[in-house]
Structure 1
Amino acid sequence: MPEDIAREVAAHYDDLDLFYRRIWGEQVHHGLWLQGDETPEEAALGLTRLVGDRLRLEAGLRVCDVGCGYGRTAAELAERFGVSVQGLTLSARQAAVAAERGDPRVEIRCADWLENDLPDASFDAALAVESTEHMPDPARAIAGMARVVKPGGRIVLCCWLRASDARKWETRHLLDPICKEGRLAGMGTERDYLDWLHAAGLEMLDAEDFTRQVEKTWSVCLRRTLKALLHDRDLRRFLMSRHQENRVFAITLLRIRAAYLLGAMRYVVFTAMRP
């Protein structure tokens, strides 16, 4: 991706390393509440397992994780399904944390997906969990996933979406600031993603809306952030520092929660296959 955008995304995750890990954990993605009584940790693991099931993973397969964060999702997939995983993240801090885990089945690289040199048809499956939103050219990102997956291989995308009927004030006061503060290049609509998947030559298998099952994530994060302001000296110092530009993401939590409640944002899991 353009160097300045890549740098901003990397800085966002490097600067917010303490915030993300203390407030939510190393699976830097939504939790999935299917029963409703899961703990946040169980819910985060639930989304990972959903992705693995949608990919139809089985022992011995090779998987590509696009925008892998701390590599925790990759590690969970390797443990549960017996696969090997190659992950890419822009964040040097995330890659370093992943390397400390020392799992021989998981390799995490600090690299830009849009500039990757991975061989064609070198993976059995690929996933992108809440990462295409950071990329200025999602169509190219998806085409790249189609390129590296073998014929018959599956691709799963978990995406933050802009509702097609979002009102102007919701876009101005919620969606656009969320993108700016969260270093998202943008949020596509469901129609956008279906078009990009089709343009990549992929066969659509499913597009399922999980908005109501994931939105609790942000209530949990808000509650933990407020608690941290009272009891966590390191996090309080970070959030109160004028020198930390990315601290504004703590305010973004409120915008995201509101956007979900109002229906301006959606969360959809897309499953596709390379013919």
Structure 2
Amino acid sequence: MIVPNISQNAAAVADHYDELDPIYRRVWGEHVHHGLWSTGRETPADAVEALVDTVGDRLRLVPGEACVDIGCGYGSTARRLAVAHGVRVTGLTLSSEQARYAAAHPVPGVDVHLRDWLVNGLTDASADAAWAIESSEHMVDKPKFFSEAHRVLSPGGRFVVCAWLAETNASGWKVRHLLEPICREGRLPSMGTREEYEAMAMAAGFAIDGYEDVSHRVARTWTICARGLVKALLADRETRRLALGARNRIFVLSIPRLILAYRTGAMRYGIFTLSKARENEAPREPGKSAAMDR
């Protein structure tokens, strides 16, 4: 597990997203996650929605199901999946600015709360499906992130996690110059490898139904963000003021690091598809996963 040399906590994560809220929405939009490209010709808006739709497909959502969006950001993923699949979604975010934006853009069946997932207060076995798109990275206690998902899901429940991952056995220079600074500058308490995520998921009781490495399909997110940020800095005085004067302005340094981390393989992007055993169903043998594994 990669751990930053300055510890991060939930308050630092909330402060990061609250303060940088205008920049995130101006540069990238209301989805605070990577885009997923298939042809390379998709617009950024199409690409971020493609990632959401991929998550929905992996979850096999059924109309009327109760779902949880862990780290829901502005609620955009919850709204899209609720409308597309007819499900009910409870979203949780640490950011008051994100919660405020979600409240101003209501959709029937979507309920967003300002709450820490690690103390979520949700009832045992109350959800049929859950997803976490790039929020596990911000969890101080990653084993509890998985164990809480297992607790909240009903037997047979499905869980999809999209995660920034460290390269397995990353070399020292990649850790020192790319991965550790990315964690520190992006308010990530830690960054795990695929193997560490799978071990934590299985320890929590999940079966691993699939894993897909889509690093090459998401990496262009950061070159687009870099261009968008430069354009915004040149065109807008308020963006310049915030980007250069914010407490969290150091995150701007992470953009070139992220570009290089993907190009060198230091960072990976994985989609895990997990499930909770049904009642009276024998647990799957540890380490076994489906044909989606790549």
Same fold (TM > 0.5) = yes
- The CA distance in 1 between the partners of 2:134 and 2:189, in whole Å, is 12
- The CA distance in 1 between the partners of 2:169 and 2:202, in whole Å, is 23
Q: Report the 3-state secondary structure (helix = DSSP H, G, I; strand = E; otherwise coil) of the residue aligned with 1:267.
A: strand
1:133 matches 2:137: yes
Q: How does 1:190-229 map to 2 (within 5 A)?
A: 190-229=194-233
Q: Choose which of 270, 273, 287 in structure 2 pairs with 1:271.
A: 273
Which consecutive segments of 4 or more residues in structure 1 shift more than 6 A?
Answer: none
- The CA distance in 1 between the partners of 2:231 and 2:266, in whole Å, is 28
- Corresponding residue number in structure 1 for 2:147: 143
Q: Choose which of 3, 15, 22 in structure 1 pairs with 2:26.
A: 22
1:63 matches 2:98: no
The answer on whether the counterparts of 2:167 and 2:267 sit within 8 Å (CA) in structure 1 is yes
Q: Report the 3-state secondary structure (helix = DSSP H, G, I; strand = E; otherwise coil) of the residue aligned with 1:161.
A: strand
Letter matched to residue 229 of structure 2: T
Deviation at 1:71, TM superposition (A): 0.5
Aligned residues with identical type, % of pairs: 50
The answer on whether the counterparts of 2:70 and 2:91 sit within 8 Å (CA) in structure 1 is yes
Deviations 1:84-123 (A, max 9, x none): 1000000011001000012121100000110111001100
Deviations 1:128-158 (A, max 9, x none): 1101111111111111001111111100000
- Corresponding residue number in structure 2 for 1:106: 110
Deviation at 1:229, TM superposition (A): 1.4
Q: Choose which of 109, 113, 119 in structure 1 pairs with 2:123.
A: 119
Deviations 1:226-253 (A, max 9, x none): 1111112211111222xx1211111111
The answer on whether the counterparts of 2:59 and 2:158 sit within 8 Å (CA) in structure 1 is yes
Deviation at 1:165, TM superposition (A): 2.8
Aligned residues: 270
Letter matched to residue 267 of structure 1: Y
Which runs of no fewer than 5 residues in structure 2 stay unpaired?
A: 1-7, 278-294
1:177 matches 2:181: yes
Letter matched to residue 260 of structure 1: Y
- The CA distance in 1 between the partners of 2:247 and 2:260, in whole Å, is 22
Which runs of no fewer than 5 residues in structure 1 stay unpaired?
A: none
What RMSD, in angstroms, separates the aligned Cα atoms of the two structures? 0.9
The answer on whether the counterparts of 2:158 and 2:274 sit within 8 Å (CA) in structure 1 is yes
- Corresponding residue number in structure 2 for 1:258: 260
- Corresponding residue number in structure 1 for 2:99: 95
Q: Choose which of 58, 72, 79 in structure 2 pairs with 1:75.
A: 79
User: TM-score scaled to structure 1, two decimals?
Assistant: 0.96
Structure 1, 231-240 or 60-69: larger mean CA deviation: 231-240
User: TM-score scaled to structure 2, two decimals?
Assistant: 0.90
Q: Report the 3-state secondary structure (helix = DSSP H, G, I; strand = E; otherwise coil) of the residue aligned with 2:104.
A: helix
Q: Report the 3-state secondary structure (helix = DSSP H, G, I; strand = E; otherwise coil) of the residue aligned with 1:53.
A: helix
- The CA distance in 1 between the partners of 2:231 and 2:216, in whole Å, is 25
Letter matched to residue 270 of structure 1: F
- The CA distance in 1 between the partners of 2:22 and 2:268, in whole Å, is 27
Letter matched to residue 232 of structure 2: A
- Which structure dedicates a bigger proportion of its chain to helix? 1
- Corresponding residue number in structure 2 for 1:248: 250
